[in-house]
Structure 1
Amino acid sequence: MRAWQFEGAGRPISLNEVPEPEPGPGEVVIDVAAAGLCHSDLMYMEVGEETMPFLPMTQGHENAGVISALGDGVEGWSIGDVVGVCSSGVRPPLGMFSHGGFADKLVADARDLARVPEGLDLSLAALATDAGMTSYHAIIKVGGASTGMKVGVIGYGGLGQIGTRAAVLAGAEVHVAETKESAWDLARQAGATDVVRDAAEWAGRGFDLVVDYAGFDTTQKAIDAVARGGTVVQVGLGLPTFTVKTPTLLGRTLVGSLGGTVEDIEEVYDLFVRREIEPAYTEIGFEEIGDGLERLRRNEVTGRLVARLDR
């Protein structure tokens, strides 16, 4: 079968022929129908040689498809079920520490499966497993966005667009910082109160919560924006390292949020089905994944890129 694999630092992702996987106990094989492309894929291509347990590594951690094989002991799932796959920590994260979904098939732990509701487009089902789950978990479950809160969202990309809308639906007053002005109208349509190019403009504004979905050394700007007693949730991994001024942390909380749960995905699925959240995304072909990652690197993507393998 085909698989897009990271082979080493400084090398572009490569399309290779690899053996088809077999499910172990408690695992399923999924015929991948859709796979989202993420800035985290690029980050791991920079540091993966130091962190990945083996190479080459099939990337792709945002996946949906159809179960085609069951391992021993799998209960509650059947061949033909349509599922999304959550990197919840049950097994090493797909595409980073175990083979992911930039391939015709992938192996997943049955405990990491989310049932895709009837009628939900599989591109949305795929992007909900990371862009949806991670953004929703960070702003709702970790950040606690709710009625009466003044919330900042840094980065209106694949994650930020969903986090913004989720916070608006929760009743928060939401402000967005996004360098790409072509995304500003989308942010306003999602319910953002205002949009700025640089989160530095928020300094001293007394936000209750800022969620940084960018991670391009933007965390200090988030800290400067929140009031004493406020919280900054770090999600984005645009750069492998960045700095903060230690005294500015006093009286404020800085917490990292990684991934989420199957429950988070299914809650996002419900919001998608009810069209409460309608994220922007662009579909590409499987053969375009390498070029798609380069488009991400050049910041040419609005919303999310999703590769479709079933068309």
Structure 2
Amino acid sequence: MKAWVFSGAGKPLELQEVSDPVAQPGEVVIDIKASGLCHSDVSALDDPNWAVNFPADPVVLGHEPAGVVSAVGEGVTNLKIGDRVGVPSGPPNNTGYFRDGAYAEKTTAIADAVVKIPDGLDFVTAASGTDAGNVAHHAVVTRAKVKPGEKVGIIGVGGLGQIGARIAVLSGCEVYAAEPKEDVWPMALDLGVTRCVKDITELADVGLTTIIDFAGFGSTTNGAIEVVADGGKVVQVGMGTIVFEFHSNPLIIKQVDLIGSMGGGVEDLAGVYDFMADGRLAPKVTTWDFARIPEGLDELRRGTVQGRVVVDMTNGS
């Protein structure tokens, strides 16, 4: 099969012919129908510090697959050939990191750690939920534990942040967004966001009790710690830079909870698919071709796309 192989930071992805994966006991093989592109893969290509996340490179990148089960391993009883599934990003599958991922025609997954795609939900939308939706749901609902009526700040209204903002709105929160690209503000307001600003520090007078940083560029986390209300929460999702300094004084004086959030699980992705299936959550998606995955990652690197970029393999491209 064809796959885009990652061999370390500073090296381009290479399109190679590799062996088809085989389902081990407890696993399934998935024929990929759609796969999201993620800025974290750009970071992996550009930043040697990311090597710690890839213990066995070379590896096929891509951690946002949706597709069809084409083989089942020994002991699998919850899935059958032909089932449509999405794979949540992060543990326990660690697709595209610890195991070959979704920038390929096929991948594998632990059968108990995938989610069936609801009838009527297309593969491209389902793929946008596996990481952007899954991570956003995990951050907003599972880690932040937002409550109806709470004032929530969202930093970054890109592929993840737009979904996080919408989930917070659907959870009954009063949502504010910090996004330097003013051209995406109308989309954020359409999602139900109350107000958009360029920098989170402009919301110091709002009284935000929870701020979720989907950007992670150091200054964004610092701003969140400075602005959040006393006893508030800052949930860190984005890793725009993997090492940064922050001011400890407001963190300590205000007794702020600084919470890390990574990936999400089956329950998070199932929650996202519930929102998607009835139309309440419809992320902005830009479709892409499999043969042009490196170009798609370049677009992410330049910040020239809105919403989530998803490779659509249903048309054979």
Question: Is the contact made by 1:35 and 1:123 (CA closer than 8 Å) also made in structure 2?
Answer: yes
Question: Is the contact made by 1:203 and 1:221 (CA closer than 8 Å) also made in structure 2?
Answer: no
Whole-Å separation in 2 of the counterparts to 1:116 and 1:148: 31
1:206 CA drift (Å): 2.5
Report what 1:307 is aligned to.
Answer: 311
- Indicate the percent of aligned positions where both proteins have the same amino acid: 46
Q: TM-score of the superposition, structure 2-length normalised?
A: 0.95
Whole-Å separation in 1 of the counterparts to 2:308 and 2:89: 18
Q: What is the letter of the counterpart of residue 31 of structure 1? A: D
Deviations 1:52-85 (A, max 9, x none): 1122110000110000011111111100100001
Q: What is the letter of the counterpart of residue 30 of structure 2? A: I
Q: What is the letter of the counterpart of residue 143 of structure 2? A: V
Report what 1:6 is aligned to.
Answer: 6
2:88 to 86, 89, 97: 86
1:28 CA drift (Å): 0.5
Whole-Å separation in 2 of the counterparts to 1:65 and 1:167: 28
Indicate whether 1:293 and 2:293 are aligned: no
Question: Is the contact made by 1:44 and 1:96 (CA closer than 8 Å) also made in structure 2?
Answer: no
Q: Structure 2: which 5+ residue stretches go unaligned?
A: none
Q: How does 1:55-204 map to 2 (within 5 A)?
A: 55-91=57-93, 93-203=94-204
1:90 CA drift (Å): 2.3
Deviations 1:211-249 (A, max 9, x none): 000111110111111111100000001111111111111
Whole-Å separation in 2 of the counterparts to 1:11 and 1:88: 24
Whole-Å separation in 2 of the counterparts to 1:195 and 1:49: 35
Q: Structure 1: which 5+ residue stretches go unaligned?
A: none
What RMSD over aligned residues (CA atoms) do the two structures have, in Å? 1.2
Whole-Å separation in 2 of the counterparts to 1:55 and 1:214: 26
SS class of match (2:232) = strand
Report what 1:227 is aligned to.
Answer: 229
Q: TM-score of the superposition, structure 1-length normalised?
A: 0.97
Aligned residues: 310
Q: What is the letter of the counterpart of residue 44 of structure 2? A: Y
1:130 CA drift (Å): 0.8
1:269 to 273, 280, 298: 273
Report what 1:29 is aligned to.
Answer: 29
Question: Is the contact made by 2:89 and 2:135 (CA closer than 8 Å) also made in structure 1?
Answer: no
1:48 CA drift (Å): 3.9
